[in-house]
Amino acid sequence: MVYTIREVVSFLDSIAPPAYQESYDNAQLITGDPNAKVNGILCSLDATEAVVDEAISLGCNLIVAHHPFVFKGLKSFTGKNYVERTLIKAIKNDIAIFAIHTNLDHVAHGVNKKIADKIGLTKTKILSPKKGILNKLSAFVPSAAMEQVMTALFDAGAGKIGEYSGCSFISEGSGTFIPSENANPTIGRKNNPEKVSEIKIEVMFPSHLERQIIKALKKAHPYEEVAYYIHQLENENQEVGAGMVGELSNALDEKDFLAHLKSRMNLQVIKHTSLINKPIKKVAICGGSGIFLLNAAKKSGAEIFITSDVKYHEFFDADNQIVICDIGHYESEIFTKELLLELLSQKFTNIALYFTKIVTNPITYL
Ligand SMILES: [Zn+2]
Ligand SMILES: [Zn+2]
């Protein structure tokens, strides 16, 4: 079985929908022909020139990286900086580069879940669930077509709440209409008032699936004109958002936990605020720069918050209520390359999959 880059991208998009990325982000296929056949995939935290060289030597023509190496519009391509040089090298050698960034940070089985697994956290939940990404569809269907319409809606991705699928609310009532002279009604006659026994189906769905869900509704619905409403919901989506909180199976003394963290995450250095003399049971995490989640971490009841890129004054905000740990951006997210390889291997069993052996961390410690 030969796959195209487009097929790999659409599989990854189904795991971490691009709609879940932050507005500043650039998670997408940055360079490469979507129709090219995939020879091999190299997974990496960063796409650098050295990683492109590694892809060439491994015979991989697709790099899947967590961090997009291009964030801003480029106006020239002369190789004056590493961004341009990486791009030029990739294009010259037919290497595609796909970035799966804050969308992968924000899904329940993404970057933070991988960190949680490394540390041994269970009962994981999103620390700051996203709002404004759920809609509700109310559709009116003649009773006889109820099953086929519901099946189509569920197949298109509607009606999932946490571990439950096929979630809907159904009520019975009557629909009225008068077909015009030019109408071609499934039920009723032209210019004749009709009253039909109908079912109202209400289902929630992720906003980014709206087009495919309405398409499925219209295809499965027997009427010429389909009556439906879409409402935007204020509900949080518990499955999507920044950071994660979870629990250790047994509480650990603070120093023991820091030693455990250091060994499980392969850390050279942990920068942390003063210990608060509480055993560690609940742990908040955010791979990459996550200090904006400090209040959410405190509210979650976590004794410790693990993230990176914390500035001097931000450490003061721990205020003896929580221990802030800065473990380094690269170190906090390095296992993302393993996560990417695991995700890809679920579907692409016959594509050669690798993760980079190059240390792309721009920071070294003396
Ligand atoms: Zn990240
Ligand atoms: Zn990052």
What are the tens digits of pLDDT across the range 53-112? 999 999 999 999 999 999 999 999 999 999 999 999 999 999 999 999 999 999 999 999
Ligand minimally distant from the alpha carbon of residue 286 = 1
Q: Give φ, ψ of 296 to 5 degrees.
A: -65, -40
The Cα angle at residue 299 between residues 298 and 300, in degrees rounded to 5:
90
DSSP class per residue in 291-350? GGGHHHHHHTT-SEEEEE---HHHHHTTTTTSEEEE--HHHHHTTHHHHHHHHHHHH-TT
Give distance in angstroms: CA of 188 to centre of ligand 2.
59
The percentage of residues in the chain with a pLDDT greater than 90, rounded to a whole number, is 98
Check pLDDT > 90 for residue 210.
yes
Q: Give φ, ψ of 277 to 5 degrees.
A: 60, 40
* Half-sphere exposure for 144 (CA within 13 Å, toward CB): 5
Give distance in angstroms: CA of 347 to centre of ligand 1.
23
Residue 44: band (very low, low, confident or very high) from pLDDT cuts 50, 70, 90: very high
Evaluate whether 204 touches 213 at the Cβ level (below 8 Å).
no
The percentage of residues in the chain with a pLDDT greater than 70, rounded to a whole number, is 100
Give distance in angstroms: CA of 336 to centre of ligand 2.
10
Residue 49: band (very low, low, confident or very high) from pLDDT cuts 50, 70, 90: very high
* Half-sphere exposure for 354 (CA within 13 Å, toward CB): 20
Sheet containing 169-177: which strands, arranged edge to edge? 169-177, 194-206, 134-142, 228-232
Give distance in angstroms: CA of 40 to centre of ligand 2.
24
Give distance in angstroms: CA of 286 to centre of ligand 2.
10
Q: What is the pLDDT of residue 1?
A: 83
Give distance in angstroms: CA of 17 to centre of ligand 1.
15
Least confident range from 160-164, 307-311, 314-318: namely: 160-164
As a dihedral over the C-alpha atoms of residue 104, residue 248, residue 311, residue 297, rounded to 10 degrees, the angle is 80
Burial class (CB in 10 A: 0-12, 13-18, 19+), 39: middle
In 10 A of CB 168, how many CB atoms? 15
Check pLDDT > 90 for residue 162.
no
Q: What is the pLDDT of residue 163?
A: 87
Evaluate whether 170 touches 199 at the Cβ level (below 8 Å).
yes
Give distance in angstroms: CA of 15 to centre of ligand 1.
15
As a dihedral over the C-alpha atoms of residue 205, residue 211, residue 216, residue 222, rounded to 10 degrees, the angle is 110
CA distance 10 to 16: 10
Residues 6+ positions from 143 with CB-CB distance below 8 Å: 172, 197, 198, 199
Q: pTM of the predicted model, to two decimals?
A: 0.92
Ligand minimally distant from the alpha carbon of residue 331 = 2
CA 110 vs. chain centroid, Å, equals 6
Q: What is the pLDDT of residue 349?
A: 93
Pick from 85, 68, 69, 75: nearest CA to 18: 68
Give distance in angstroms: CA of 113 to centre of ligand 1.
11
Give distance in angstroms: CA of 216 to centre of ligand 2.
37
Ligand minimally distant from the alpha carbon of residue 110 = 1
Q: What is the pLDDT of residue 128?
A: 98
Q: Name the residue type at position 299.
A: K
3-state secondary structure 128-175: EEEECCEEEEEEEEEHHHHHHHHHHHHHCCCCCECCECCCCEEEEEEE
* Half-sphere exposure for 2 (CA within 13 Å, toward CB): 5
Q: Give φ, ψ of 289 to 5 degrees.
A: -85, 100
Give distance in angstroms: CA of 222 to centre of ligand 2.
48
Per DSSP bridges, beta strands 228-232 and 134-142 are antiparallel
- Can you tell me the mean pLDDT for 24-53? 97
* Half-sphere exposure for 91 (CA within 13 Å, toward CB): 10
Q: What is the pLDDT of residue 207?
A: 95
Average pLDDT of the chain is 96
Give distance in angstroms: CA of 20 to centre of ligand 2.
15
